[in-house]
Amino acid sequence: MISIIIPVHNEYKNLQRLFNVACFLSHEQLLEIIIAVSPVNSDAIEKLECDQKIKFLHCKNKGRAAQMNEASQIALGNTFVFLHADVVPPTDFIDDILNSLQNGYEAGFFSYKFDKDTWYLRVNASFTAKYGLFTGGGDQCLFIRKDAFDKLGKFNEEQVLMEDFEFFRRMKKENVPYTIVKNDLIVSARKYESNSYLRVNLSNFLLVVLFKFGYPGNKLKSLHNKLIRTPYNG
C-alpha cells in the first residue's frame, strides 16, 4: 500500500489543480495522501475540497526535509512517494510504481516535462529520463519502500536545500536498487517564467557543483535566494 507525502508552504492553487486532475486517487493500492503543511503556512489550505484519502498534517518545523520526515512518521503505507505540490503525475502513476517494486527495485524516480512547451525546456526535461548529474531532484518524485527509507535515516533536516540530492547520494552509497520510470510527470515552469532560462540553468549547475563539494546547506539556501527569484512563498 502506498502513502503519498506532499510538503507544502502556501501551495493552495497548486494543490487545487493537482486534486482536480488526480485520477490516481481512486487506485485501490493508494492508502492515503498526507499534506505536510508548513507551520508558517498562510493561505486557505483548509478550504480545499478533498477526497477522504487526503489528510492534513500541520508540522512542527518548516522545511521540506523536516515536513516530509514528520509525515513519514505517521504514514501507514509500506511504500512512500514524495511529491511536490506543483507536479502533476501521469495517469499510470501508481501502477508504474507498483511495477517497479515488483521488478526488484526498492526506489525510483520519474522523468518529467514542463507545463510550458518551448525547445529549451524540452532539452532540460530530456535529461530527466537519463542517469546523470541532476538525477534525484525532488521534481522527479522519489518513491521508496518504507524499510529502505528508514534504513537510510530519512531526510537530513540540516540540508535546508537539495535535501533530495543528499538523500539520493546516500541511496547510491548503500546500493539501494532504483530505476527511472520513463512516463512523464508534468512540472511547473514557474521558476523559468520568473527568471531567464540561462540564469536558472547556470544557478542550478553552480548549486549542484557546490553541493557535491560539501558546501553547507544553509549557505546553499542563501545563495539560491540571491540567484533565483521565486514566484511563490516556498
Show pLDDT as tens, one digit a residue, over the chain (234 residues).
999 999 999 999 899 889 888 778 889 999 999 999 999 988 888 778 777 899 999 999 999 999 999 999 999 999 999 999 999 999 899 999 999 999 999 999 999 999 999 998 999 999 999 887 778 887 999 999 999 999 999 999 988 888 999 999 999 999 999 999 999 999 988 888 888 888 988 998 898 889 888 888 888 888 988 888 775 544
Length of the chain: 234
* Residue 206: HSE in the Cβ half-sphere, 13 Å Cα cutoff: 14
Sign of CA dihedral 39, 231, 166, 227: negative
Name the 3-class secondary structure at 102.
helix
Q: Grid coordinates standing for 44?
A: 486557505
Contacts of 148 (CB under 8 A, 6+ apart): 106, 107, 176
Question: How is residue 46 written as a grid cell?
Answer: 483548509
pLDDT of residue 231: 56
Rounded CA-CA distance 119/213 in Å is 31
* Domain architecture of the chain: domains with CATH: 2-188 (3.90.550.10)
**3-state SS, residue 139:** helix
pLDDT of residue 234: 41
- This prediction has a pTM of 0.90
